[in-house]
Structure 1
Amino acid sequence: MSKVRIYTLAKDLGVDNNKMLEMLDGLGVSYKSVSSTIEEDTVELIKQLLAEEAESAPAAPAQTADAAQAAPQAAPAPADAPTPSPAPEAATTAEDTGAPHRAPVVTIMGHVDHGKTSLLDYIRKTRVAAKEAGGITQHVGAFEAQTSKGKIVFIDTPGHEAFTTIRARGANVADIAIIVIAADDSLMPQTREAIAHAQAAKVPMIVAINKVDLPQADPERVKTDLTQLNLVPEEYGGDLVVVPVSAKTGEGVEDLLEYISLTAELEDLRADPKGTFSGVVIEGRVDKQAGVLATVMVQEGTLHVGDFLVVGEGYGKIKAMTDSAGGRIKEAGPSTPVQILGFSEVPASGEQVQSAKNEHAAREVIAGRAQTRRDTEAARERRKLTLEDMMGPLGTVRTVNLILRADTQGSVEAIQGILARKETDDVKLNVMLAGIGAPTEGDVLLASTAEATILCFSVTAPGSVTKIADNKGIDIKSFRIIYELIDEVDRLIKGNIEPVFEEKYLGRAEVRMVIRHPKNGNIAGSYITDGSFKRNAKAKVTRGKQVVYEGTIVGLKRFKDDVREVQTGYECGINLDWNDVMEGDIIEASEMVEVAQA
């Protein structure tokens, strides 16, 4: 019995892919995606349902005799024509569904020499107009490809680490990740890393098996190897789309573009060109003639020449914009990569961009961000993110993300086997990436994005990597004895028990004067009458017999110096996250301490 792919049937019948999936759901048909195949009898059922819908649709209003004569007569449909789809019932226009659809943004990752650049070059040459295929596109960092399904935007910033650097700053640039794997080489270390980075970003993945034109190509081996990473191709009953391609001959490239468009359709990507502008820096550089140039991907709203933009703690005014074709443009809407001239400093990849009404508004945003950064740095000093913090809400099954590095492949496999047996009903251990050798900066970036801990056996991290991990609050734990590593995992799993805290009294202070500070607000000039006060302790303010405030001590001062603690009998300045403190108020300090459990 012949089979047909779902998206092909939808196209033939003039039905939206999502509607086709809904109809199959109603029939109880099992499928993985629109690229899955269905049996011929199911196809006949779908056609029958569409015919019944067409028959039950309300009849068009009767025409007047004059109108009927004036109206052109439709030619009879051929006998073998597909059943026409009914008039759309669900809202499909931008006005009804909200923001209009936008083009998908795609990133291509994989192992070195597996053909990422060659594949991009082939798509660029065949899908971009000749005038757009100049060297300028290399500098824009992205290009737009026109297909039968519409525009697709490709980011050609190389490497999964660059992709995760952007992700680590909280920016979702790519909608779809293409993992390129050479048919004559199969999975390699950077392939596994690229897959882990795409999974951490939670973007749909499509695998392109490249170099299928080579005599030694073995696509089936690649598919089998993918199953070892719990990635099951559709042909094997899974939901991973795998497309054989050749960047040299172009074989399969059309299919790849079709799958990208189908995935984008199912993701229902939308953006409002009239909304508030937001975007992300893809890359920045200094041109000897033009000066600072930054490539920005527009995500929402529309960018105009003359707009003020804020990036990080800097700003600029757009003097000129260049599209991926190298042409000057005056405005750019969603899913459009543009090169911008107007920044005084080179912005970092992944920095989020927002617009400001004028220079004054831009400066205000920058001042707020600088204060937020200082507060974050101070908070990081007080509290380092631990694995227990990453486990999520208590009472649910929690996934702990781990990155494993060891001295040999045998050690890696042995530790993975032990970890698999350590999982409980409450805690799942997810080894996102397991490799040989010392942890890298890419591991730290991945850990930062996925909130993972790096476990090392018989290898140690270089000083540069340790420094980056410390800055990002990532734990790198190294062990020389395998049982010590396992004991650490046991400790973390046992630490899953809900901790019990109680409030511990610290001290009492009397407010003797209120100091008004231009930056820090009102500071309570106080005398500690009992116990001690600590920075970041809880505070309760009473006025007479009434409690007027409960919050946090955000700062302590002795004269002009910031201090962590002040003892009984000393005067100090107490800064609360509250500005209505008055002379005569009594401030009590306390802290939450964990109670030891049997």
Structure 2
Amino acid sequence: MKIRSPIVSVLGHVDHGKTTLLDYIRGSTIAAKEAGGITQHIGATEIPNDTIENICGDFISKLAIKDLIPGLFFIDTPGHAAFTSLRKRGGALADLAVLILDVNDGFKPQTYEALNILKMYKTPFIVVANKIDRLFGWEVHEGASFRETFSNQAKSVQQDLDNKIYEIVGELHKEGFQSERFDRVSNFASQISIIPISAKTGEGVIEVLAMLLGLAQEYLTEQLEIDENAPAKGTVLEIKEETGLGVTLDAIIYDGVLRTNDEIALMLSSEDVLVTKIRSILRPLPLEEMRDSKKKFRKLDEVVAAAGIKVAAPHLDDVVSGSPLRVLSEDTDVEQEILNEIDNITIDTEDEGILVKADTIGSLEAVVKLLREMNIPIRAADIGDVNRRDIINSSIAYDENELHGAIIAFNVDVHPNSEEDLNNSEVKLFSGDVIYQILEEYEEWVKQKQEDKKKSFYDAIIKPAKFVSLPKLVFRQSKPAIIGIESLSGTLKQGQQLINKDGHIVGSIASMEDKGETLPDISRGQRVAMAIKDAIVGKDFEEGDELYVDIPEKHYKYIEREFKDKLTEDEFETLYEFLEIKRKQDPDWGSFGLFE
């Protein structure tokens, strides 16, 4: 058996320094070449032990781990999609994780998302508190260990950093993790280590590498044992076209050996299995990053885990990012294994809800998990671009419930042939490559829809209002009765039914006029002439009587439950006067039953 390098995933909020940390370690400048300094694709970097020794010097020799762990294998997930969780059967692809945050900014939305992913996959991790060089008064000691540089700082600077570290400790505690600054940890199995660093100046990077190697040796050696003669197992990172090679796949091999001419099984977007033969295996040199190998790739006859490779093979066009990669063997039905894997990642959906599309299996799982935590029902969840069928399904969902007429599209496009269908539909698309922003936009849209619906409903329900019939202003006694009135509270509207102080129906407002102008509604204080259909003055009410708008019991309950805080003081008083009138006739009127 052989011990492979632990696979380390680097997670964190945009611009908190993930790629800068790896750049410092490998001495390259990938961050500067990426748009906006944000990593645009998933990358993988192999850091051999001799490089770690060069960075750490004497510090690493004290740990006596050189012979056990051959190095570290970093996966740099995109900054704007930190939780694109690369997976293998039974959990996360990564053996360890580095959660990086800006010590001055603290926790941001993607920091919490990364924590959720680490919880979901139960991945051991350390926290790297970056950008200590930006603390007020910090004196830089390039490449120094944290202990060395910290001891040379002014007391006020040390105190400032300690305060920020304890803020991180407090925030992690809220999320269910016990933590401490790494040099104060008493139990590495139960406490998360927080390592203050500057990825820019290299301060503290020594401890990051040493801690990762130490944790791997102490807790993961059994997990890292591989049979280097066993058929390879891996995960597909990305499918892309390379000049001269055609469609290729980038993959991480985490177990066994992969050889040229091996037959491999992969998952297709059609939820079927592709079996194809490897034409060539290409691998970047150590310290070269898979997206940016200056010397391009070298061809290999075979590669043993852990390794980041590019594979050229026929028919890769429809392979799914995040797919398992398995070498066929006589001992195992690999195709069936992958079909089982498809079944395992099938996401339970409901009869109603929104549609979800994502670029990889891992990101789809993560998006769905976050939506589930938000109690958002999901009608369908799938990998790939938004297509015409998605828009039709979402339109059907909209007809049933307009809040479900939405598509969450993470890191995918709308198929060109479907743009017009989308524009002509009521479906709302929420798309992008930062999931928390997509979900924030979706939540805001839902909130606005609910507020619009509530407002529309509030406008539609009959609310408390009353008026007084002014003495000596009866213009017609009946058919319809026409009287002068003064509105005392609320809004009086044409068509509303009226009751008197005894709860008897008087009639309904046929019209209201002021100086020859017909008014659809009037508010408190206005005096108008009112025509009341079916009312007889002297029989249904007298001059000087107060009349009330008749509120249906169902409307009264809605007001009590949902809208009471929206009533004005005079409407509030009128509501309870009206309630007293109703309960003289029926003591239970307006009461809430056990199941309401």
Query: TM-score of the superposition, structure 1-length normalised?
Result: 0.45
Look at both structures and tell me which one has the larger radius of gyration over its CA atoms.
2
Query: TM-score of the superposition, structure 2-length normalised?
Result: 0.45
